[in-house]
């Protein structure tokens, strides 16, 4: 029992490090697309299209330079949220999988789904203020040299620290099914692959399964992501509930231009992000675990 507990602790520690690196790698690759997505998500007037996104990226590049596309008014703000989120996400998933004995019995669809849902809730709640700060920086005037620390200091000085948790409810409501579907899909595809081939997946196969998991979970929860971004950036009344916000958006902006505004970009961005993240995580975790045994 002692050796088993020690082994699980080492795996959790390895998962924290591997998850952190995986998240940072994936988000750095798709940073320009992420910045563009948030810009269009929080706007109720700017119409989204691939052409508009390319224009936004080109205009940002011409006006403020190439590195601005990766900074979100400070790329450190992006990584400051992504690194702990991804580390907590993958490490907590390992823990929940152990506690729910998902890794003992392969025929556990509901437990796999629950493990993923708890993973999404845990990582989101722990890092939500950092996500709010990142969203605020992403739409701030590039001429102002704001930093992540500035957002927190400004919120503290103005007695608005609680505002950094604005939109946390739709986030948690969205991340429970998002995490559940993402990890359920990836774990299920992994199990099917192992049962049919009798071997572990290659890097390319991990990427492909992660991509499928990412786009599936994103499609199921995207409208709540729209509400979350607008609440975070004050684009909705403070007393506006989730259902009211969803009704308002679809009434004024429609289904595709409202609830799913910018989603076509996610058909490229989400599988790329999720694929890179899962592939990097699985590769590093295997190396870390093998090195410690």
DSSP 261: T
Residue 214's contacts (CB-CB under 8 Å, 6 or more residues apart) are 182, 270, 271, 273, 274, 275, 277
What pLDDT score does 34 carry?
72
pLDDT for 74 equals 47
Q: Does 40 score more than 80 pLDDT?
A: no
- Statement: residue 2 has pLDDT above 60: no
Neighbours of 175 (CB within 10 A): 28
Q: What is the mean pLDDT of residues 104-126?
A: 86
pLDDT value for 293: 60
pTM of the model: 0.75
Q: What is the pLDDT of residue 141?
A: 62
What is the number of helices (H) and of strands (E) in the chain? Answer: 10, 0
Cα 281 to Cα 16, 95, 129, 138, distances in angstroms: 10, 15, 24, 27
**DSSP secondary structure string, 69-109?**
GGTSS-HHHHHHHHHHHHHHHHHHHHHHHHHTTTTT-S--H
What is the tens place of the pLDDT at every residue in 215-273? 999 888 888 888 877 877 777 777 787 888 888 888 888 878 888 887 877 777 889 99
Residues 206, 185: contact at Cβ < 8 Å? no
Higher pLDDT, 105 or 112: 112
Question: Is the separation of the CB atoms in 268 and 215 below 8 Å?
Answer: no
**pLDDT at position 1 over 50:** no
- pLDDT of 51-100, one tens digit each? 787 788 788 778 877 766 665 554 566 677 789 999 999 999 999 988 88
């Amino acid at each position: 029992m002692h050796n088993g507990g020690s082994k699980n602790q080492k795996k959790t520690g390895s998962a924290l490090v591997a998850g952190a690196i995986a998240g940072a790698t994936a988000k750095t690759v798709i940073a320009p697309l992420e910045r563009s997505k948030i810009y269009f998500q929080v706007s109720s007037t700017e119409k989204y299209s691939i052409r508009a996104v390319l224009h936004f990226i080109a205009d940002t590049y011409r006006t403020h330079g190439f590195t601005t596309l990766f900074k979100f008014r400070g790329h450190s703000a992006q990584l400051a949220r992504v690194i702990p989120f991804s580390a907590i996400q993958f490490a907590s998933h390992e823990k929940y999988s152990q506690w729910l004995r998902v890794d003992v019995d392969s025929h556990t669809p509901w437990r796999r789904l629950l493990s993923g849902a708890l993973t999404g809730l845990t990582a989101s709640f722990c890092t939500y203020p950092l996500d709010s700060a990142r969203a605020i920086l992403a739409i701030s005037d590039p001429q102002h040299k704001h930093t992540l620390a500035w957002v927190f200091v400004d919120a503290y000085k103005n007695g608005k620290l609680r505002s950094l948790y604005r939109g946390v409810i739709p986030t948690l409501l969205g991340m429970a099914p998002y995490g559940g579907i993402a990890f359920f899909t990836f774990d299920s595809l992994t199990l099917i692959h192992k049962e049919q081939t009798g071997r572990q997946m290659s890097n390319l196969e991990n990427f492909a399964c992660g991509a499928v998991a990412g786009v599936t979970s994103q499609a199921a929860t995207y409208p709540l992501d729209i509400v979350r971004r607008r609440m975070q950036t004050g684009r909705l009344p403070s007393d506006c509930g989730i259902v009211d916000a969803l009704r308002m958006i679809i009434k004024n902006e429609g289904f595709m231009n409202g609830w799913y505004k910018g989603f076509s970009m996610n058909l490229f961005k989400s599988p790329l992000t999720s694929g890179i993240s899962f592939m990097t995580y699985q590769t590093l975790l295997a190396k870390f675990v093998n090195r410690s045994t």
